[in-house]
Amino acid sequence: MADIGTDVIPEPAAGGRASSAPLLGRDSEPTLFELSQPGRRSWQLRTTAVPEVPLEDLVPDEHRRDGPPTLAEVSERDLVAHFTRLSHRQFSVDLGAYPLGSCTMKYNPKMCDAVAALPGLADVHPAAPASCTQGWLQLLVELEQQLCEITGMAAATLQPAAGAAGELTGLLLMRAWHDAHGGRRHKVVIPDSAHGTNPASVTLGGYDVVTVPSDARGCVDLAALKAVLDEDVAGIMLTNPNTLGLFEEDISAIAAAVHEVGGLLYYDGANLNAIVGVVRPGDMGFDIVHLNLHKTFATPHGGGGPGAGPVAVSERLVPYLPGPRPALITDGAGPRYGWTTTPESIGRVHSWHGNALVLARALAYLLVHGGDGLRKVAHLAVLNANWLRTRLSGTYDVPYDRPCMHECVLSASSLKKASGVKALDVAKRLLEEGFHSPTVYFPLIVDEALMLEPTETESLQTLEALATALESIAADALEPGGAERAAGAPHGTPVRRVDEARAARTLVPTFDARR
C-alpha cells in the first residue's frame, strides 16, 4: 500500500448525502406479476419421506379450493434482481442524511442487527415453556429496568408494538386507574401541537379530546389549560420537548395543575432523544410514559415499522400494566425468570410478548451507550439542531425564535410570499440535492412548516452541506423562473413528482385493479 503523506490533509467532505449512483433506475421496475412466467419457480423444500396422501383425502371437498391461488411464478434469480432493483429506488439512513422531524432517523448500528439474528434469540418459539426461554426473559427484565431508570418510572410493559399502541395502552391504564379511584372520567387534554396519534388514541380509549392552544412562545398556554381542567379530566398527553422542538419550561406548574384535579400526565416519548440522560419524565411529574425504541434507541424503522412502544408507569399504576410480564421469581424453588400477571391488569395488548427482536436491538444499543453515552446522545442531538436553526435563521422564518431541543421548526412562509415556492417545493428540491426532506406542514400550527431533526449521528460537514443546499434552494427560488423550477422538482430521482390526487381519485390498490 502506498504511503500517504501526512502533510496532505484533505478538506472534510460532507457525509450523509446520497450520491446519484444508488438511485439509478430511471426506468419503471415491472411488478412481480409482470415478471411471472407460468412454470417457473424458486421454492425448494425439505425432503421428509412423509407419506404422500393425496390432497382430496386431506381436505373435505367443500373446503378445498379449485386450484392454487395465483401468486407469481419467478426464478430465484429474477426474485433477487427484482427486489434488489426496488431497493435501488429507495432512500434510507444508510444512504444519506434523513432530517425528518419528529422521526429521529439516526444511524442504526449493525451490531444490533447481528444480535437480533442470533439463533438463540430469533428461533425461540413464543409459547415455549419458561425453562427454554430464561435468556429471553432476563433480557426483557433488564431492558425494562433500563427503561424505567431512563424515564424515572417504576415498571414497564414491553408489549406495545409501536408508539400509537403504547399511547392507547397508556390511556387504558389511565382509565383503569380512575375507575378504581373515584370513578370514570371522560376527557383528555391535548395541546394543539400534538402528534395526530394522540387524539386518535384518545378516541379509541373512550375519551373525548379537549384541545388547548399554544401560547405565543410555542408552549402550552397555562391559563388556557387551567380553564379546561376539572374533575372530569382524566389526564393530559404531552410531548416534551413539544413538536415545535421547544422544552415546556412550565412543566412543573402544568403537572401540579393536572394533579390538582386528580388527573394523570401522559408523556409521549416521540421526542425523548432530546433529553435522554438529562432530565426524566418521572422527575417532571409524568405518571405514564411511552417510548419509541425505533427513534431514541436506534432500532431500524423498516420503511414504516416494526417499531416498539413500551409503556412505563409510576408506582401507583403498576398493578394495571398489561400481563403477562416477565419477572425474576424468587420463591422457594430458587430464583428463575417467569411470567406474572396481576388481577388488576388491563390485559394483553399484543398476540405474544411484543416486538421481541426490536427489544433485543434496543438493549444492545443501551449497553453500548450506558448512562453517560445516552446523555451525550441528547447533547449532540440538541447541538446539531441548534446549529442548523441558527445557520438557517437568516434564510427561512423561525416562527419561535429561541433555543430548540433536538429539532427545529422553520417556515417557508416568507419565501412563499416572495417567490411562490412552498414548503413542499423546498422538500422536493432537497431530494435533488441527495438529502431526505424534512417533515413538512407539521406541526399544524405553523404555516408552511419545515421541521428538521438532524439527530446526533450526522457530522458537522453533513450539516454544512445540508444547510448550504437549503440556502441555495431559497436563493434559487427568488431568481427569475424560480417558482417554476421548484414546482418541477424533483429531477434525478427514480420518479418525478408523484400525482397523489390521481391515486386517491382513481384508486388502484392492487395490480389486479389496474385497467
CA distance 319 to 313: 10
Which residue is associated with the grid cell 372530569?
A: 232
Of 36, 122, 31, the closest CA to residue 74 belongs to 36
Choose between 304 and 480: whose C-beta lies nearer to other proteins: 304
Provide CB contacts within 8 A for 312, sequence distance 6+: 147, 148, 151, 153, 154, 155, 156, 288, 289, 290, 291
- Which parts of 357-376 interact with other proteins (CB under 8 A)? 357-358, 360, 363-364, 366-376
CB of 102 to other proteins, least distance (A): 10
Binding mask 380-419 for other proteins (x = CB under 8 A): x-xxx-xx--xx----------xx----------------
- Which parts of 130-159 interact with other proteins (CB under 8 A)? 131-136, 138-139, 146, 149-150
Other beta carbons less than 10 A from residue 238's beta carbon: 26
CA distance 196 to 515: 35
Q: How many residues sit close enough to other proteins to count as binding (CB under 8 A)?
A: 209
Sequence-ordered alpha helix ranges (H) in 393-450: 413-419, 423-432
Choose between 2 and 510: whose C-beta lies nearer to other proteins: 510
Q: Does residue 19 interact with other proteins by CB under 8 A? A: no
Choose between 138 and 414: whose C-beta lies nearer to other proteins: 138
Q: Does residue 319 interact with other proteins by CB under 8 A? A: no
Secondary structure E strands in 292-395: 311-313, 325-329, 336-340
Q: In this chain, which of 187, 290, 422, 428 binds other proteins, going by CB under 8 A?
A: 428
Q: Does residue 247 interact with other proteins by CB under 8 A? A: yes
Using the contact rule CB under 8 A, the part of the chain among 98-106, 392-400, 411-419, 468-476 near other proteins is 98-106
CA distance 29 to 83: 10
Bridge partners, 209 (sequence order):
188
What is the Cβ-side half-sphere exposure of residue 302, based on CA atoms within 13 angstroms?
13
Q: Does residue 180 interact with other proteins by CB under 8 A? A: no
CA distance 171 to 233: 12
Q: In this chain, which of 437, 452, 474, 486 binds other proteins, going by CB under 8 A?
A: 437
Q: Does residue 279 interact with other proteins by CB under 8 A? A: yes
CB of 474 to other proteins, least distance (A): 19
Residue count (the chain): 515
Q: Does residue 286 interact with other proteins by CB under 8 A? A: no
Q: Does residue 181 interact with other proteins by CB under 8 A? A: no
Q: Does residue 184 interact with other proteins by CB under 8 A? A: no
Q: Does residue 50 interact with other proteins by CB under 8 A? A: yes
